[in-house]
Amino acid sequence: MRILFVLFIFYTLNLYAEQRYELNRGISLLNQSSGQTIDIQPEQNLQFEIAGEGSWFYRLRVFNSDGTERAGDFISAKSNIDNGFVYASLLDQYAQAAEAISQGGDPPSSPDCPPNGERDNGTISENCQIPGTDAEWQAKCEQLYSSNIPEDALNYALKVMKLNATSFRTNKCFDSQGLKPSNHPSMMGMTGDQLENGLLANGLPNKCQMVINDTDDRSPSSGGDNCRGRMYYIDLCQGSDAVVVEDYFNLGTGTCRSGRNGFRNGDGLHTTVKGAFFTHNEAFDFTNTTTQTSQYNAVARQVQNAGGPRRASAVHLFGLQNTNNLASITGKYMHVSPHRSSWGCPSIKPENYYMIESLANSGPSLVLNWGREGMEDIETCTE
């Protein structure tokens, strides 16, 4: 029986060995866990496995020269991998591993896979018990309450997700003020009916990633302009624990500079608007919607240098409430930006392009502009 077990392990490891690669040129990796971009060179003698893929990127496991795995959730553009990887022959190393196993003893266990196959998730709050999610997702959701995310904002976001988990119920207000025409570059042919009765017919597709923007926390601002708020990018599906990346988003100049227009939901006011949004399921190039093409061409190069596609990543936002349902028609997108402030778009720095690409590729996804005052009850626009 032990011989059969060892042969099985050896065969399995050989299969994985065929997926191990080395570099023949330098590439850039993005660690989604930390939000940092890392430049890797062949002389570092790292090895890689392709663990999955998206529309434009590969997800990677990264191993040091001694065989230990680097912690992180690494991705890189497919062009980097296709042009930079060569097969690494590791059969001897795996044969040694199989030989060590054959010497006896039980396979090692890990905290994530206890021998009895059970995980102690503790008490899961009602807010995290969302239809369509499993026990592991709910346990990670519960971890969010130990993060820096304001609890009221987190509860609000989870309520939106729960209401729309299996059908699009928050559908009473999102198009009452009109949407961008379907032929606009940001819409890429989508109509309101296709969003409501197509993409969202079975509820919110993406329960893995979401963004919460805290309009009250201006601590990321500097220089006295008060035009940056705290952003939380959340991923509940990658890794063994919940991923929360904290950074900034830009507020509209009509809101942050003397606050003359507040958070009014109107056109030409350059304001940030509060409330819940669902994203489009395709990202677009913001360069195609602005006259500042030279600035955004430079942003597109920054995104490419960080491992992404050569474009200024952006995604259309559909405001779900009376407080933000003009976002579509007035073009308040989530996009990467070179500016310290915006005209109401919750724009982010170019290095965080992957957040937008992820929200779109798995979308529609949830984005929340939160504030302790001025938030409309989500039930108002829910059937």
* 3-state class (DSSP) for residue 245: strand
Spell out the domain ranges in the chain.
Answer: 2-102, 132-381
Residue 128 DSSP label: G
Using the structure block, give the residue that is written with the tokens 């405001």: 319
pLDDT in tens, 319-351: 999 999 999 999 999 999 988 789 999 999 999
Residue 119, CB-side half-sphere exposure with 13 Å CA sphere: 16
Strands 313-315 and 334-335: antiparallel
pLDDT of 179 over the 60 cut? yes
Beta strands, E only, the chain: 20-23, 27-31, 36-40, 47-53, 57-63, 74-77, 85-87, 209-214, 228-235, 243-250, 275-279, 284-285, 313-315, 317-319, 334-335, 366-370
- What per-residue confidence (pLDDT) applies to 105? 53
pTM > 0.75: yes or no: no
Lowest mean pLDDT among 39-43, 192-196, 313-317, 374-378: 39-43
- Span 166-194, average pLDDT: 95
* Peptide bond between residue 111 and the one before it cis (omega within 30 degrees of 0): no
Q: What is the 8-class DSSP label of residue 220?
A: T
Q: In sequence order, which ranges of 306-346 are alpha helices (DSSP H)?
A: 327-330
For residue 180, give the 3-state DSSP assignment: coil
**C-alpha–C-alpha distance, residues 188 and 316, integer Å:** 10
DSSP state of 124: P
- pLDDT for 99: 56
pLDDT digits (tens, 9 = 90+) for 6-64: 444 444 434 334 478 888 777 778 887 776 777 788 878 889 888 888 766 788 899 88
Confidence at residue 42, expressed as pLDDT on a 0 to 100 scale: 81
Is-contact 31 83, C-beta < 8 A?
Answer: no
Both structure tokens of 58? 């590969």
Mean pLDDT of the chain: 85
The β-bridge relationship of strands 209-214 and 366-370 is parallel
Contact 85, 42 (CB under 8 A): no
pLDDT digits (tens, 9 = 90+) for 204-248: 999 999 999 999 999 999 877 889 999 999 999 988 899 999 999
How many Cα neighbours within 13 Å face the side chain of 235? Answer: 20
Residue 16, phi then psi, degrees to nearest 5: -70, -30
